Amino acid sequence: MAGCAELLRVEHEDSNKAPALTLSDCHVSAQFEGLGPTARVILRLKEPAAKAWRTVLAPKGKLATALTGGKLVLRPNAGSLPKAPLLPSHSAGNNSNHAWHWDASSATLHIDPADPTLGTADARCPTPERGGPIFWLDTLEVAPGALITPSAYWTPRPGIYDPIAQACLTGWSLSEGARAVMHAGLGLVITAPDAPEGAIFDISARVAGHSQHITVRGAVRVTDPARHPLAGTWSETQEKLCSGGDWRKPAEPIGELVFKANGAFTLARVPFESYFDYWGTYRHAPASGALTLNITGGNRIPSERSAKGRGRIMPSGELLLEGLPPWSAEAGGAVCSRLFRRH
């Protein structure tokens, strides 16, 4: 699952500093207003993000002058959300089409996007003789009511992913019976709030610039976060020795630990393309935190192929794993507890 991944950020156009505001996909609900490729996109902020944005963008907030002066840019982290200036909602009629507008009273962002297909003729669409397009490598797991922002890539060979311009993607569609709605121009998808656990559907689009009919397609599975709290991609940040002491920074942190809602997991100390140190299956009881890992394959398989411990989500949103063996040499003693942050 995507977890609390960064959805977008707000930057000052005259500054190379850190983003002034960010918004994760956990703190927003989305809807489309109207039909066709230019239907309005509305993002409604949830707490505590709504309060943070209201404070910073208020008339006396630190970004008030930049907001009213048109100096802010909303930049999506990935996918098909449009990059555009951020303006106050009351400026919507002042030559500000295709800009994001902030409405503090409702804590919403909205945009009336341009039709991306109008730029297809001028876009540099991929025309390589080998390879093909993808959205993602594995089935994408999302929660009911989630916003999906597809990014397409052309992969001429394994490990190479060249971004495909939004204007090169046309004919967006969902598979029959999909419990979701789609923005016809941007390819954005919102899963139904009541979509059942395990519902599967496909997102598809045509890739322009080819004499033959080429389609990019990605599978999506709806999963309930309450039933699969560990599902997502995690990176280790801290560890604690079995002998006690304070939390410390790992000498060789686990760079990528992925739990899938279907009961599979992968681990890579140093993530690289599709490489994993090992993989397997897991069982987790959310109420007790009991966690069992079983390794079924890999490139660096440890001697112990199974382990039992505990895994729970902390109030901070971090993942705490306790009682599992290190499965690798540890500097300074055995490690019994590990903290991870979600990607």
pLDDT in tens, 201-244: 999 999 987 767 899 999 999 999 899 999 999 999 999 998 88
pLDDT, tens digit (0-9, with 9 covering 90-100), for 164-182: 988 899 999 999 999 999 9
pLDDT, tens digit (0-9, with 9 covering 90-100), for 73-95: 999 987 789 999 999 987 644 44
Tokens 């207003």: give the residue: 33
Report the distance separating Cα 80 and Cα 25, nearest Å: 14
pLDDT for 26 equals 86
Report the distance separating Cα 270 and Cα 299, nearest Å: 13
Residue 28 and residue 147 in contact, taking contact as beta carbons nearer than 8 Å: yes
pLDDT for 282 equals 98
pTM for the structure as a whole = 0.83
232's tokens: 């997502």
Tokens 């594995």: give the residue: 138
Residue 189 and residue 134 in contact, taking contact as beta carbons nearer than 8 Å: no
Report the distance separating Cα 230 and Cα 190, nearest Å: 22
Domains in the chain, ordered, with CATH?
6-114 (no CATH), 120-222 (2.60.40), 232-342 (2.40.128.490)
